[in-house]
Structure 1
Amino acid sequence: MDIEGCISFPVLGEPAPDFEAETTQGPITLSGLKGKWVVLFSHPADFTPVCTTEFLAFASIYEELKSLNVQLLGLSVDSISAHLAWVHDIKEKMGVQIPFPIIADLTMKVAHKYGMIHPGQSSTAAVRCVFFIDDKGIMRAMIYYPLQNGRFMPEIIRLVKALQTTDKFKVSTPANWQPGDKVVIPAPKTAAEMEKRPTEGYECKDWYLCFKKI
């Protein structure tokens, strides 16, 4: 949705808005990343306390995301030079190399496409968003956090694995699902399927709620 005077947001199940941007590792386009999953996250500003803790945390999950065929991308409305100086400072003062590209979005073009600017929080800084884009370029999940609260990295990993499990096995994942837990079988769509369900070997609580191991 992009109505004049309103905030624009991407929509689940639809193509993620394409963009071309400069990053700390050179120019990038979202469409050029098809074939990979993308986790795109925004942060309010470089050289700020909570953002620094988050970059250390995102760096710690980079290799696991990479093993899941995920490209991690950061973004703020700061410049390339500010990003590079901050990355250098993190490496020098905290001993952590930031391995993923950081998008410079001074014009807020990408931020506005993705609904990262929330005037109730700030008119000049992106809130803490995380976008999960699949290998076909489809927006699969979004999480928004306020400026003051950092993200929980295990949930980012868990959600990527849940989405990929759903795609691979055509199932759903229940509340609090963790990799290795039982998954939910799609509910029957006809009376005949409902009658057949108890004979199909699943662990059922009722005809519409059945689980299985994968």
Structure 2
Amino acid sequence: MPGITIGDTVPNVEVETTHGKFKLHDYIGDSWTILFSHPGDFTPVCTTELGAMAKYAEEFSKRGVKLLGLSCDDIASHKEWIKDVEAYSGGHKVTYPIIADPKREIIKQLNMVDPDEKDSSGNPLPSRALHMIGPDKMVKLSFLYPATTGRNMDEVVRVLESLQKASKHKIATPANWKPGDPVVISPSVDNDQAKQMFPQGFETADLPSKKGYLRFTKV
């Protein structure tokens, strides 16, 4: 799929949002940022997703993460839609900005164009995309879902914690990892280094190859 992907720097475009105009890099600052797009205002799955983001906003804030939504409708539409989102989410406030992109220019620059969906005028619609952006303004992870499938917020939190831990330690997270579970030590770290870097200790899986590359620890 063309456009920005993992490892690319997010373009520093100026955007108009429900919180005013700003450039993306200024908004991101020194924080992690989750930038997520939606096919349209006043649509069912999108309303549930923005409501879920509002419910989880405090969890993201605890982790030093900013949220930024995007839809191709205009600011006036966004502000009216937010009323529905907040009502559906049980009163949780939408405290994050939502970008307006009626000309469909920003979704192209951010690789958030749905390859199949079009509006009634034949214009492209945003995909249900999500970029996790690091303080260095680079994309660390991207999710892309079809319009029919809503995101799982617990999974968003899970992969965020994985990325943040990996950015601080030479580790990776194994299959089905959840926050609090053991992580695996990077193969680039030998055992002597591992003893220094992980004084809490580590366990090496006993495998037929006896290579000792699967080492678990907690961070």
Q: Which TM-score bucket, shorter chain as reference?
A: 0.7 to 0.9
List runs of 5+ in structure 1 lacking aligned partners. Answer: 1-6
User: Per the alignment, do residues 211 and 121 of structure 1 end up closer, same or farther by CA in structure 2, a change over 3 Å counting?
Assistant: same
Aligned residue pairs, count: 204
Residue 77 of structure 2 aligns to a residue whose secondary structure is helix
Residue 124 of structure 2 aligns to a residue whose secondary structure is coil
In the alignment, what sits opposite 2:129?
A: 129
Give the TM-score of the pair, scaled to structure 2. Answer: 0.85
| Deviation of the 1:172 alpha carbon | 0.8
Tell whether the 8 Å contact from 1:8 to 1:112 is kept in structure 2 after alignment.
no
| Deviation of the 1:42 alpha carbon | 0.3
1:103 paired to 2:108: no
Q: Distance in 2 between matches of 1:183 and 1:80?
A: 43
User: Per the alignment, do residues 29 and 197 of structure 1 end up closer, same or farther by CA in structure 2, a change over 3 Å counting?
Assistant: closer
In the alignment, what sits opposite 2:55?
A: 60
User: Per the alignment, do residues 27 and 180 of structure 1 end up closer, same or farther by CA in structure 2, a change over 3 Å counting?
Assistant: same
List runs of 5+ in structure 2 lacking aligned partners. Answer: 206-210
Q: Distance in 1 between matches of 2:15 and 2:194?
A: 53
Q: Deviations over 1:156-202 (max 9, x none)?
A: 1111111110011121111111111111111158xxx58x6998853
- The residue type paired with residue 26 of structure 1 is G
| Deviation of the 1:96 alpha carbon | 3.6
Q: Distance in 1 between matches of 2:148 and 2:99?
A: 21
User: Per the alignment, do residues 21 and 198 of structure 1 end up closer, same or farther by CA in structure 2, a change over 3 Å counting?
Assistant: closer
Q: Distance in 1 between matches of 2:177 and 2:195?
A: 25
Q: Distance in 2 between matches of 1:198 and 1:98?
A: 43
In the alignment, what sits opposite 1:23?
A: 17
1:209 paired to 2:214: yes
Give the TM-score of the pair, scaled to structure 1. Answer: 0.87
Percent identical: 37
User: Per the alignment, do residues 70 and 197 of structure 1 end up closer, same or farther by CA in structure 2, a change over 3 Å counting?
Assistant: closer
User: Per the alignment, do residues 204 and 109 of structure 1 end up closer, same or farther by CA in structure 2, a change over 3 Å counting?
Assistant: same
CA RMSD, 1 decimal: 2.2
- The partner residue of 1:90 within 85, 91, 94 is 85
